[in-house]
Amino acid sequence: MRIHLAETLKESLENFAAVNAKNYLISYFYDKKHTLTEATFEKVPDAKILLDSGAFSAFNTKQELNFEDYMDFVTEHKDDYIGYFNMDVVYDGEKSKVNYDIMREKGFDPIPVFHYGSDFSYLEHYIKYSKYIALSGYAQHTMQQRLMINWTKKCLKMIPKDRDIHLLGVTSPIILFRFHNEITSVDSSSVERHRSYTGTISYSGMNTGSKTIPTKLSMDQVNKIQQYSASRIVNMEQELNELEEQHG
């Protein structure tokens, strides 16, 4: 299983590379000029990069992405990525399916995104055509892990065993250790640089407002926190893969 670190800034790349991270997720939302992808390969020549459309980031910031521009970007740069996601529409299963079908009709092979709360008929549709399927909703339900575990189990029962599966926005140890031998990849934005700066890196155990963290962090502190958190993710990935080898 691969854990892809979500990369939004070149400064983050320096910290991720420092702990020997190889797997990245880059969003079109942050890399419309392809410069972040190019910088990643310059720093980590053997990087494995997944391309996200950035629909969730656009939704959260109340911005819009141009679907045609995204398809043009994929056409030009798809060989740089091990896979690219459909431009899904958050909380709208039908529009997500429409975009997926358009991409397929135009000759693309996108990874469809099936959202928690969408009708399972959409998942059935994606199963017919895709070898790689993404499940989404974990970031929105971080405090409801039992809910997401049960939903994931239902999805995995429907998806044939020969398909690759990606979980979007999840590095919860509880979920990963539960499903690591059934999924191909996940991604994490929990070690993004802006979270380091505000002291809200979840996987490091440091919480917003903690009295143990200075109100204002220096850039050196930001880098050290981000490197530490990224190393925790990289080590967890290694541990999960060792577990999978032990259990066949």
Average pLDDT over residues 44-71: 92
Cβ distance 25 to 49 under 8 Å?
A: yes
Average pLDDT over residues 146-174: 94
The mean pLDDT value of the chain amounts to 88
Cβ distance 58 to 37 under 8 Å?
A: no
Tell me the two tokens of residue 112.
């469809």
Per-residue pLDDT, 135 = 97
Q: Is the model's pLDDT at 217 over the cut of 60?
A: yes
* Kind plus residue range of the DSSP H or E element containing 153: helix 145-158
Average pLDDT over residues 27-36: 96
Tell me the two tokens of residue 1.
């299983």
Nearest C-alpha neighbor of 152 from the set 173, 130, 175: 175
Name the β-bridge partners of 24: 5, 49
Per-residue pLDDT, 171 = 76
Contacts of 220 (CB under 8 A, 6+ apart): none
Q: Could you give the C-alpha distances from 47 to 22, 132, 182, in angstroms and in order? A: 5, 19, 23
Q: What is the pLDDT of residues 61-111, one digit of tens each?
A: 888 899 999 999 999 999 999 999 999 998 899 999 999 999 999 999 999
Per-residue pLDDT, 213 = 52
**pTM metric for this prediction:** 0.89
Q: How confident is the model at residue 204 (pLDDT cuts 50, 70, 90)?
A: very low
SS3 at position 96: helix
Q: In what order do the strands lie in the sheet with 185-188?
A: 83-84, 48-52, 23-27, 2-7, 185-188, 164-167, 132-136, 113-115
Q: What superfamily does domain 2-188+226-236 belong to in CATH?
A: Queuine tRNA-ribosyltransferase-like (3.20.20.105)
